[in-house]
């Protein structure tokens, strides 16, 4: 048996499959024992052929058990929620804040509701089923109040109430005001978090300086730079969705890549050699992850970038497959519920297929350089991202864009100019207005182009039901074409598989 060159890939796949099974199974604990027996019997049968099967099965079961343990304590929706059993008024709850509080103002009022999630550690209502689970918290107040930081331990007094929105019932902890929240003394981390929050406030203020005259453009700029999508109107979101460019609002590898390009240029101008870039760029990534809300897509991209920079620092050739697998493994260990998160799935599916496509075309790319290399890289990345994101979008959301390829070839270069102008606005404060105006001009060109593409007779696919088998066959055919197919007959087989997948996906046309 040949030596396994990328064990992290196998470990990440086994964990992910185990967590997917846990997500798809309602009565998980009843299946764990018989599933374990069956898999270990298979391992014994194949012992002479592949002893490593023991290892893969163990990793699979670890992923399954880890998902089950976390999902049981983090579920906060549905009738069986443990919060439903604790409806005493004004009880005391203690826990750790696990995401940045977000303010939702009331209509035509400066008051509103702060929303965040709490990892509950103690309560005085004597319900042990409440402990160690994720609780949604609503705090009524003003937008300028100082709310708890991420990972801060707090004690609050409130009552549990049911909130129904769009026919979905959710039990939440309602707190009347910030006066009913008791906070712990500030630690070193809380002082760092305070500075990071001030930095985010500075970014929001600077990027909103021209908002009165360019409200829509400023909202798009904030969404692209720091992931604040609240101000983007529904009409513009629908325009980006219709043309397959909604991903520009999800901070991911594209945005992290743009940031690293700009930061690398500045670091190089400072005279720092390439192996030592990580000493500056990795702290920038950590700050950026916090500023953008610590979402799965930006975490994935930042972990991959950090792994790449660390490998360069030690003068090793970066193995992108292992870096991708390690980032996925760390995210799944931190939060197994990412295995069913749409952003996580889109992020990894697209980056994996782009990596495979570049590996397949590596010999052709060695013959070109300069402008044509960057142009062909953009075209190939956009083509692969479109081909392998649309089926997943159809399955998860019931829609996908037919003009996404053309739109992204136009939007992505313009988006780099928007990102560059916005970061210059934040870094060079005396000229922030000039750079903001330049960014708004680029955004206007983007909107004009997307409005023109939307008028084309082909646009958005909308289907009611997409076959899961067809989606899986599409990705299987793609993997066959990019990894195994070499001869003409094999290429035809792969194309045939993807053609059959189109038919199985139902109302695709």
* pLDDT (tens digit per residue) in 258-296: 999 999 999 988 888 888 999 999 999 999 998 887 777
User: Rounded to 5 degrees, what angle do the CA atoms 39, 41, 46 make?
Assistant: 95
- Tell me how many domains the chain contains: 4
pLDDT at 214: 87
Query: Which residue did the predictor score with more confidence, 57 or 473?
Result: 473
Q: Is residue 388 part of a domain?
A: no
pLDDT at 508: 46
pLDDT at 425: 93
Host domain of residue 125: 82-184
Minimum mean pLDDT range among 41-55, 178-192, 243-257: 41-55
Q: Is residue 173 part of a domain?
A: yes
pLDDT at 2: 40
Both 63 and 102 in one domain: the answer is no
Yes or no: say if 485 and 446 are a contact pair by the CB < 8 Å rule.
no
Both 41 and 112 in one domain: the answer is no
**For 19-110, where are the E strands, in sequence order?**
91-97, 102-105
CA dihedral 493, 498, 499, 503 (to 10 degrees): 140
Name residue, tokens 């409806």: 87
Both 158 and 231 in one domain: the answer is no
Q: Is residue 477 part of a domain?
A: yes
Both 22 and 91 in one domain: the answer is no
Both 328 and 453 in one domain: the answer is yes
Q: Is residue 385 part of a domain?
A: no
Yes or no: say if 132 and 125 are a contact pair by the CB < 8 Å rule.
no
Give dist(CA 258, CA 423) in Å, integer: 10
Question: Closest Cα partner for 18 from 45, 4, 41, 39?
Answer: 39
Q: Is residue 145 part of a domain?
A: yes
pLDDT (average), residues 56-64? 60
Confidence label for 86 from pLDDT (cuts 50, 70 and 90): low
Both 259 and 131 in one domain: the answer is no
Query: Which residue did the predictor score with more confidence, 286 or 2?
Result: 286
The DSSP result for 212-281, as a single string, is: TT-HHHHHHHHHHHH---TTS-HHHHHHHHHTT-GGGGS-SHHHHHHHHHHHHHHHHHTT--GGGTHHHH
Mean pLDDT of the chain: 80
Residue where a domain stops, chosen among 130, 161, 184: 184
Query: Which residue did the predictor score with more confidence, 280 or 405?
Result: 280
Q: Is residue 380 part of a domain?
A: no
pLDDT at 38: 56
Decide if pLDDT at 79 tops 90: no
Decide if pLDDT at 444 tops 80: yes
Tell me the CA distances in angstroms from 297 to 27, 203, 289, 351, 374, one per residue in order. Answer: 30, 21, 10, 11, 24
Both 95 and 56 in one domain: the answer is no
pLDDT at 159: 82
Q: Is residue 253 part of a domain?
A: yes
Q: Is residue 397 part of a domain?
A: no
Both 107 and 60 in one domain: the answer is no
Both 260 and 145 in one domain: the answer is no
pLDDT at 373: 84
Both 90 and 50 in one domain: the answer is no
Reading the block at residue 401, the tokens are 């864009």
Residue where a domain stops, chosen among 73, 105, 129: 73
Contacts within 8 Å (CB) and 24+ apart, 262-269: 262/419, 262/420, 262/423
Both 408 and 486 in one domain: the answer is no
φ/ψ of residue 176, rounded to 5: -65, -35
Both 422 and 330 in one domain: the answer is yes
């Amino acid at each position: 048996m040949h030596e396994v060159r990328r064990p992290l890939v196998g470990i990440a796949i086994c964990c992910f499959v185990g967590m997917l099974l846990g997500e798809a199974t309602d009565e998980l604990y009843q299946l764990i024992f018989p599933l374990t027996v069956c898999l270990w019997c298979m391992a014994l049968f194949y012992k002479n052929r592949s002893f490593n099967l023991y290892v893969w099965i163990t990793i699979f079961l670890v992923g399954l058990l880890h998902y089950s343990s976390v999902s049981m304590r983090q579920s906060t929706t549905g009738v069986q929620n443990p919060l439903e059993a604790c409806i005493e008024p004004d009880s005391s709850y203690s826990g750790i804040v696990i995401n940045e509080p977000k303010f939702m103002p009331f209509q035509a009022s400066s008051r509103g509701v702060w929303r965040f999630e709490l990892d509950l550690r103690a309560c005085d209502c004597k319900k042990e089923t409440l402990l160690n689970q994720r609780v949604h918290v609503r705090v009524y107040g003003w937008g300028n109040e100082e709310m708890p930081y991420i990972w801060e331990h707090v004690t609050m007094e409130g009552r549990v109430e049911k909130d129904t929105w769009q026919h979905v019932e959710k039990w939440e902890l309602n707190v009347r005001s910030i006066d009913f929240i008791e906070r712990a003394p500030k630690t070193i981390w809380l002082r760092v978090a305070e500075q990071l929050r001030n930095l985010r406030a500075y970014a929001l203020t600077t990027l909103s300086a021209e908002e009165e005259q360019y409200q829509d453009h400023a909202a798009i700029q904030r969404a692209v730079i720091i992931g604040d999508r609240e101000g983007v109107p529904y009409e513009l979101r629908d325009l980006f969705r219709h043309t397959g460019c909604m991903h520009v609002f999800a901070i991911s590898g594209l945005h992290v890549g743009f940031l690293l390009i700009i930061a690398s240029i500045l670091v190089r101008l400072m005279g720092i050699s390439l192996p030592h870039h990580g000493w500056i760029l990795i702290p920038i990534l950590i700050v950026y992850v916090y500023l953008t809300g610590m979402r799965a897509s930006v975490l994935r991209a930042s972990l991959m970038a950090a792994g790449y920079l660390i490998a360069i620092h030690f003068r090793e050739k970066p193995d992108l497959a292992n870096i991708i697998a390690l980032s996925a493994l760390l995210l799944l260990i931190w939060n197994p519920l990412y295995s069913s998160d749409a952003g996580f799935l889109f992020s990894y599916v697209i980056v994996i297929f782009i990596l495979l496509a570049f590996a397949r075309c590596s010999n052709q790319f060695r013959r070109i350089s300069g402008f044509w290399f960057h142009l062909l890289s953009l075209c190939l990345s956009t083509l692969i991202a479109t081909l392998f994101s649309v089926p997943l979008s159809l399955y998860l959301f019931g829609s996908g864009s037919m003009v996404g390829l053309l739109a992204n070839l136009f939007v992505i270069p313009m988006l780099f100019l928007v990102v560059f102008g916005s970061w210059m606005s934040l870094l060079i404060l005396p000229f922030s207005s000039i750079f903001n105006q330049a960014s708004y001009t680029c955004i206007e060109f983007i909107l004009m182009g997307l409005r023109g593409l939307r008028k084309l007779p082909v646009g958005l696919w909308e289907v009611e039901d997409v076959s899961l088998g067809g989606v899986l066959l599409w990705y299987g055919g793609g993997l066959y074409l990019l990894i195994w197919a070499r001869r003409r007959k094999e290429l035809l087989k792969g194309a045939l598989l993807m053609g059959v997948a189109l038919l199985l996906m139902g109302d695709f046309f």
